[in-house]
Amino acid sequence: MSVTVRAATIDDMPSYMDLAAAFVATTPISHIVPFDREGTAAFVEGALDNENMIVLVAEDAGELIGITAAIAYPMYFNPAKLVAQELWWYIKPEARGGVASKLLFQEIEKWGKGKQAEAMFMVALDNDRVETMVKMYGRLGYAPTERVFVKGLN
């Protein structure tokens, strides 16, 4: 197995969208906001050219096995300071526990540092993997900062 991480390209979009759909299916909000493949593809394609965003893939033998993206933005209570935030993170179940997560993580943090972000925000979905993610983030030096609550309005 030779896993590599690289910037996503337009040619990745069909496979990227397959993984994005699998990711959204695991999210607690998917019953409120359903996955829109075409809309998501348009968003991701726009992100490819946005200097304040990064879109990455993990690849093994030419197959996409993981995806992530992040955004850098001014912190609302101190707009002179940038922060970076992971937008999504998904590794195929059969590739979990391997090197793909580590490599994606290293790249996304490196990008955040390169943007001179003061902090990186990582998300742990409130699903069956939350405790695994809490442990992983803790090992990597991340601390919990807040919880997000959702209520459908329609």
Q: Quote the pLDDT of residue 127.
A: 77
d(CA 83, CA 75) in angstroms, rounded, equals 6
Residue ranges of domains in the chain, CATH in brackets: 3-139 (3.40.630.30)
Q: Which amino acid is present at 24? A: V
State the pTM of this model.
0.91
Q: Quote the pLDDT of residue 1.
A: 60
pLDDT in tens, the chain (154 residues): 699 999 999 999 999 999 999 999 998 899 999 999 999 999 999 999 999 999 999 999 999 999 999 999 999 999 999 999 999 999 999 999 899 989 999 999 999 999 999 999 998 878 778 888 888 888 889 998 988 888 999 8
**Which uninterrupted H or E stretch holds 68?**
strand 63-75
Of the candidates 85, 89, 98, the residue with the CA atom closest to the CA atom of residue 130: 89
The pair of structure tokens assigned to 26 is: 């695991």
